[in-house]
Structure 1
Amino acid sequence: MAPSVPRTRAAAALRMKQIALDNQDHTIRRLRAQLATERRGLTATRKELKETQVALEASHKVIAGLTEIGLSMSKKIEKMKVKKQLVKENHVECHQKFQARIHEAEDSMQAQHLLIEALVDEKDSLLQTIHN
């Protein structure tokens, strides 16, 4: 019985080593599969990152274009405000000139009216003198 015990122990030790190797092999396969999954995920993440980067660059171009349009519109609005102010000032000036002409015409008419009244009075006076 004594000689079979070491063989049994040796066989058990070999069996334990084989189980450990099988476990390690299983762990290695599992880790390799996990690594492959991680690599696929990393590839997908890189692809998403590249797409996001392209979209971000396009977005920056759009924003730059809109900013340029906004600045251009602001300049045009400022020019329009200046032009509007000049038109308003011109209108006020024309209105004042027109009012001045109206006053001149009214003053001239008033003077002519007074002159006519004076001439009528003088005519009446002369007629009165002639009749007397």
Structure 2
Amino acid sequence: MSVSVSGPDILVVSELTRCIIRLGNQIWHFQGSGRISDLGERPDSDFSSVNCSEIPMEMAPSAPRTRAVAALRMKQIALDNQGRMIRCLRAQLAGERRGLATMKKELEDTQVALEASHKVITGLTEIGLSMSKKIEKMKAKKQKAKENHVVCHQKFQARIHEAEDSMQAQHLIVEALVEEKDSLLQTIQGLQEANNAPAPFDDEWEEDRKNNRKKKRLRIFLWRGRDR
């Protein structure tokens, strides 16, 4: 796994590289002169555990190299720690990215569900509006039919009253004519009796009079039945 290094780290690495090259040259120089041949048998040849008090006087010039190696190791440890921290942060970032991807997918699914719900609600709203319009039209038709029925009923009642008034007037006329006929027949009969003349129409007159009375009673009965 590659580790990204910032600008200051690059400077540190380049400085360490120069130190390592310089230390390598010095070690090669001292090995050539045989002044550190006795240190080749020590297991800790990188001078990390060498105490300054153990160094003989002739090895005094190697003290700066020991400090440089220690500083180099500390910087290497710091770089390793930074690398581990970077890897950890990258792992956390990858986990967060996966979580964000999951959340994005859930949000997309939720958005799709919301759009579907919105379409359903829109369809139901349109159906409700259409049904409301149909109900309003049906109410208007019903109200109009009711008004027409009331008007027709009023017209029919007016015609019935007109017919009843006409029949009543005709009935009164018929009664007046019958009474006039009766009075005329009585006048004729009186004149015939005064002249001692026979009454040729006595039987017919009596029969007509009885029939007229029956008709009159029938008309009165029928008229009273209608009034009820």
The verdict on a shared fold, with TM-score over 0.5 as the criterion, is: yes
Match of 2:114 in 1: 56
Match of 1:73 in 2: 131
1:106 aligns with 2:185: no
| Structure 2 spans left out of the alignment, 5+ residues | 1-54, 191-228
Letter in 2 for 1:100: A
> Partners in 2 of 1:102 and 1:34 — Cα distance?
99
Shift of 1:28: 1.0
Letter in 2 for 1:102: I
Letter in 1 for 2:153: H
Match of 1:119 in 2: 177
Match of 2:84 in 1: 26
- Indicate which of 87, 92, 104 corresponds to 2:150: 92
> Partners in 2 of 1:123 and 1:5 — Cα distance?
171
More helix by share: 1
Structure 2 length-normalised TM? 0.51
Match of 2:103 in 1: 45
RMSD, matched Cα:
2.2
Shift of 1:24: 0.5
- Indicate which of 67, 72, 85 corresponds to 1:9: 67
Shift of 1:104: 1.4
> Partners in 2 of 1:22 and 1:82 — Cα distance?
88
Shift of 1:62: 0.5
| Structure 1 spans left out of the alignment, 5+ residues | none
Shift of 1:91: 0.6
> Partners in 2 of 1:104 and 1:112 — Cα distance?
12
Q: State the secondary structure of the residue aligned to 2:126.
A: helix
Q: State the secondary structure of the residue aligned to 2:95.
A: helix
Query: What is the aligned residue count?
Result: 132
> Partners in 2 of 1:12 and 1:130 — Cα distance?
172
> Partners in 1 of 2:62 and 2:168 — Cα distance?
152
Match of 1:36 in 2: 94
Which structure's relative contact order is higher, taking Cα pairs within 8 Å and 6+ residues apart?
A: 2
Identity of aligned residues (%): 82
- Which structure: larger Rg? 2
> Partners in 2 of 1:56 and 1:102 — Cα distance?
67
Shift of 1:13: 0.2
CA offsets 1:51-98 (integer angstroms, 9 cap, x no match): 012112212221221132123213312321331233123212211221
